[in-house]
Amino acid sequence: MPSLRVIRRGKVSNNNKAVSVLVSSTFAFTICFAIWMMFAVLGIPIKKMLGLNETEFGLLAAMPVLSGSLVRVPLGIWCDKYGGRIVFFLLMLATVPAIALIGHATAYWQFLVLGLFVGLAGGSFSVGTPYVARWFAKERRGLAMGIFGAGNSGSALTKFVAPAIIAAWGWQSLPTVYAIAMLVTALLFWVFSATDPSHQTNSSVSFSEQLKVLKDRRVWRYCQYYSVVFGGYVGLALWMTKYYVGEYGFDLRLAALLAACFSLPGGVLRALGGWISDRHGAYKVTWWVMWVCWVCFFLLSYPQTAMIIQTTNGPLHLDLALSPWVFTGLLFIVGTAMAVGKASVFKFIADDFSDNIGAVSGVVGLAGGLGGFVLPIMFGALLDLTGIRSSAFMLLYGTVCVSLVWMHFSFRPQSTK
């Protein structure tokens, strides 16, 4: 894998400082993402305690995703204006009280409100992406942003850590542990990160002026792609632990471990996606990502089915179902494809909007986050309505179809080469 070349106002800068920024930001984002996804595991005992239906569980799991998505645009713009280091640091500190209070909540509405404040941690992506990108040369930004984006693996971290903490000390202890972890992470980030005033935009540029770039139709196209590869990733990361418990009857620890087989590659391999996008281009990589997801979602959509076929020798009983191991293998492939796709979409942004990465990445991140908010609620509603758990994958299959059609007509000259 090629080395990262660093720039500062067109000149080679201190490589050690840039690497320190990348490492500290990636670590901080990993912890933020783990906390952002905490209800994927924590929500299961809460659901049992409060007697929630599937739709209510989906709303509970998705509440942090909503606020984390809505703040992405202003956070991205503030990062451009004030610098990523200070915005990232203050954002982490702001979430600590709400995280700690979750352990004392007793009513459904209390969990929903606190979830909104905890969700601010998810906005860290729109701060860290432009903050990290500006330390590296344009031809290496895909790799740099991919490494930072590997912090999505925090979703898998929650699935490894949270069940053990809950089993040992009860679910109320998890928020306390996470609040301490967030506070320590914020302090470590401040110590090991750095500031470069040249990376900030002119402070006289207004909010509305920075948002003028949103008139570009390319921004909305990238929003659609990201709502699939990131929104779908978040939605499944929140839903899969519960899916394994309900569909295969596994206990919480095993279900979370198998769900991590999707979450872990979906985060860690994002760096690989950035490198591939640098080499082969964002269009070609995103195109193949969508096709891989299309095939996998088609197979995952098929519900467990029992059929009786009348033959000349009597009735033939035929069972069609995915074993948990085949199911997990397909999820691993989907997670890998989404990791690559998340990086390739942001390679589009870094190439096309290098002077306004913060605002554009904020909007695209908002679209992806809103996808991650809506999907768990829709998964729950579809399950309540149909009783078919694989209906979640039917929905995702349809979203990928929309993306493939849109991408084909948007890049028609390239697709015919």
Residue 30 pLDDT > 90: yes
For position 136, what pLDDT does the model report?
A: 80
CA distances from 145 to 10, 73, 161, 348, 361 (A): 19, 18, 26, 12, 11
Structure-model confidence comparison of residues 390 and 366, the more confident one: 390
Q: What is the pLDDT of residues 258-315, one digit of tens each?
A: 999 998 888 778 778 878 888 888 888 988 999 999 999 999 998 888 888 888 888 8
| Interior/surface letters 46-80, b for 16+ CB within 10 angstroms, e for the rest | bbeeeebebbbbbbbbbbbbbbbbbbbbbbbbbbb
Angle between helices 357-386 and 391-410 (to 10 degrees): 140
Burial of 206 (0-12, 13-18, 19+ CB in 10 A): exposed
Q: Torsions phi, psi of 307, nearest 5?
A: -125, 150
Residue 303 DSSP code: P
Domains along the chain with CATH numbers: 15-200+214-305+318-415 (1.20.1250.20)
Instruction: Say what the alpha-carbon torsion angle 26, 31, 36, 40 is, to the nearest 10 degrees.
Output: 120
Number of C-alpha atoms within 13 angstroms, CB side, residue 68? 32
pLDDT band, very low/low/confident/very high, at 206 (cuts 50, 70, 90): low
Q: Torsions phi, psi of 268, nearest 5?
A: -60, -40
For position 348, what pLDDT does the model report?
A: 83
Contact 389, 379 (CB under 8 A): no
In the predicted model, what is the mean pLDDT of residues 201-225?
A: 70
Most confident of 180-184, 226-230, 314-318, 363-367: 180-184
Q: What is the pLDDT of residues 228-251, one digit of tens each?
A: 998 999 999 999 999 999 999 999
Residue 304 DSSP code: P
Tell me the C-alpha distance between 174 and 252, whole Å. 15
Q: What is the pLDDT of residues 144-154, one digit of tens each?
A: 877 888 888 88
Output the pTM of the full model.
Answer: 0.80
CA distances from 406 to 340, 372, 399 (A): 19, 20, 11
What is the token pair recorded at 344?
């390739």
Residues of the chain with pLDDT > 90, as a percent, come to: 48
Q: The dihedral of CA 392, 398, 404, 406: what is its sign?
A: negative
**CA-closest candidate to residue 333, choices 265, 277, 273:** 265
Tell me the C-alpha distance between 44 and 66, whole Å. 19
Tell me the C-alpha distance between 7 and 132, whole Å. 11
CA distances from 188 to 24, 78, 184, 192, 359 (A): 8, 22, 6, 6, 27
